[in-house]
Amino acid sequence: MTVEWQTIKEYEEILFESTREGKVVKITMNDPKTHNAFTPGMVQEMIDAFSIARDDAKVGVIILTGAGDLAFSSGGNQKVRGNGGYVGRDGIARLNVLDLQNLMQHVPKPIIAMVKGWSIGGGNILQLMADLTIAADNAKFGQTGPNVGSFDAGFGTGLLARTIGAKRAKEVWFMTDVYDAQTALQWGWVNKVVPLADIEDTTLAWADTMLQKSPTALRFIKAAANAADNGLAGLQQLAGDATMLYYTTDEAKEGRDAFKEKREPDFDRFPKFP
Ligand SMILES: CC(C)(COP(=O)(O)OP(=O)(O)OC[C@H]1O[C@@H](n2cnc3c(N)ncnc32)[C@H](O)[C@@H]1OP(=O)(O)O)[C@@H](O)C(=O)NCCC(=O)NCCSC(=O)c1cc(O)c2ccccc2c1O
């Protein structure tokens, strides 16, 4: 089925669109001539788009994908790699994809990676950071770091090991082989494999299902799923969500209002639940 996408904001290196009356947004890495390799500029644009999606209370699900049918992403653009990182329009070398990885874990809404073709290097780590992955039957997964003088020893190694198992993660990094979609499915690297022609419909069907669920429940499940692995940062996320909920209660409002009204708070009337 053809889906109508509306542009939310114009960028140079990504597309940022919405459908379902703004409830589902799609961020598309848009440089098909390099298999959607990312530059610092493209990463900065994705950070901006994810931040907009995070702040928009209408948005329930975020899709991350690559332009065209041949690639999700081939990772960091080696043609702009300098010394100490990837060099952006400002001439500064940086690894700002690490900021994007963190943001993807902090955005309190489900992120679906919609993977067609190559999912390689840092691109594959972005699909790993997504909460769910729908892969087309032409998808190919792998890490190339040791071939090109790079590695991601953070989420790219640790989260991969937690996702597909330590032995398999080490194989992926040490051997730098390419794995097809069925193998990725069997290893728990992706959630579902569908024919290429069906991938957008399937991804939207999953998004539609999640839109029917309690957004607060999904928010806490995402935070809880990441909390133990992320130490105090994971606890901070979960605790921040709890504080946000607490602020909506009459009990918390009483504390705020008493301060503003220069009186003692009356917390005695609130139940002490078991
Ligand atoms: C992905 C491929 C296996 C596809 O091979 P294929 O034969 O199908 O296509 P071509 O090789 O002919 O590619 C077509 C066209 O695209 C250009 N291209 C492909 N990938 C990149 C890339 N990553 N950067 C720049 N350009 C790319 C290619 O040169 C061709 O254009 P021409 O004009 O030259 O014809 C194969 O392309 C491939 O292996 N690509 C490289 C994959 C790779 O090594 N990626 C980088 C890994 S490192 C990384 O991503 C990374 C990024 C970070 O930001 C990190 C941050 C912190 C820690 C670690 C990081 C990290 O590891």
**What is the model's pLDDT at position 133?**
98
**Domains 6-211 and 215-260 in one fold:** no
Look at ligand 1, atom 60, and give the residue with the nearest C-alpha.
152
73 in a known ligand binding site: no
pLDDT band at 171 (very low <50, low <70, confident <90, very high): very high
* 152 in contact with ligand 1, CB cutoff 6 A: yes
| Topology given in CATH for the domain delimited by 6-211 | 2-enoyl-CoA Hydratase; Chain A, domain 1 (3.90.226)
Domain edges within the chain: 6-211, 215-260
pTM assigned to the model = 0.97
**What is the model's pLDDT at position 1?**
76
Look at ligand 1, atom 16, and give the residue with the nearest C-alpha.
34
| Exposure class string for 39-58: b at 16+ Cβ within 10 A, else e | bbbbbbbbbebbeebeeeee
Using most ligand atoms within 8 A of CB, pick from 31, 33, 35 the residue to mutate for ligand 1.
Answer: 35
77 in a known ligand binding site: yes
| Topology given in CATH for the domain delimited by 215-260 | Lyase 2-enoyl-coa Hydratase; Chain  A, domain 2 (1.10.12)
State the closest ligand 1 atom to the C-alpha of 123, by its place in the atom list counted from 1. 50
231 in a known ligand binding site: no
pLDDT tens across 199-226, in order?
999 999 999 999 999 999 999 999 999 9
pLDDT tens across 86-137, in order?
999 999 999 999 999 999 999 999 999 999 999 999 999 999 999 999 999 9
Q: What are phi and psi of 35, to 5 degrees?
A: 55, 35
Q: What are phi and psi of 190, to 5 degrees?
A: -135, 165
* Residue 172, burial from CB neighbour count under 10 angstroms (0-12, 13-18, 19+): buried
Which strands make up the sheet holding 179-180, listed edge to edge? 71-73, 118-120, 140-142, 179-180
Sign of torsion over alpha carbons 239, 241, 243, 246: negative
